[in-house]
Structure 1
Amino acid sequence: MTGWHFRRDALGREVGPYSWTIEACRIAALCEAIGESSEIHFDEEAARRAGYAGIVAPPTFAHVIDEETARQAREQGNPTVLDLIGADLRHIVHGSETYDLFAPMLSGDTVTIRHRIDGFELKKGGALDLARVTSRIGHPERGLLTTLSRIYIHVRPEGAA
């Protein structure tokens, strides 16, 4: 594929691992932005009373980890997933995002994220090009915490074949 399509040679490629430490203030900022008000996301005592070892990040915090580690990759001169698939940000839209939770992400955790480019698919007679990416976030002692599965969509630019 050429032009506006995703790069098929990226299939099966992986990005990472990258590590990042979760901070309580970042959890609070996301929760405020999305309207999450549970005390376990803001107050360590409340989280401990609920049986957690620290402030609990909501599932969507995986996206924050993804963004922070993508920034880290760029600073180190390494390609991100979007670089590998040849994403043209002028023509990309968010298709879907799902989370599988295995254990909580907690403030103070240093987690590792790895991404894998799982597949591509054309839809709507080739007007849409989809890329499937899976990100796995793990902890060195507690194992896999969550997976983030996303679909990115390139929309064919007007006049492109």
Structure 2
Amino acid sequence: MSTPTPQQLIAAQQASLETLFGFANQAFASIEKLVALNLQVGKATLAETQAIVTRAASVKDPSELIALSASLSQPASEKAAAYGRHVHEILSGAQAEFSSAATAQFQKAQKETQGFIESLTKNAPAGSEGAVAAWNSAFSAANATYESATKAAKQFVATVSAGA
């Protein structure tokens, strides 16, 4: 049976670090989008508030003030809904990116594990067929569990997204 060389261990650590930093960069990109959205909404709200206060200050009787107040409720609810949609789009995009990257990493690990098991099978000493079969069985069960969980998670996300 072959053991990993120092170069293989270093390469594995570098790949793990690259994956970690990839996830961190994805998270920061999503946070940047949320911050940009909030800044945009903040600026727009400030400008709109200034316009509303200016209009309210020029009101001559209470009926005009009531009419102004009533005219603002519909646009405010539409803006809140639009803001919610934008946040949902940003978070959904981030979730899709994380899911895609995690799936790719799992498939890579799965392939490497399968290669390890094949190497183990080829280099196993006589009489260890039972242990190798147990490894293969455990690996197959883990893959089946992962596939089932992934399918259930995707269905859940689709259901939640459809309801949003």
TM-score calculated relative to the size of structure 1: 0.21
Give the number of the structure whose residues are more often helix, by fraction. Answer: 2
Between structure 1 and structure 2, the one with the greater Rg is 2
**Structure with bigger RCO (C-alpha 8 Å, 6+ apart):** 2
Give the number of the structure whose residues are more often strand, by fraction. Answer: 1
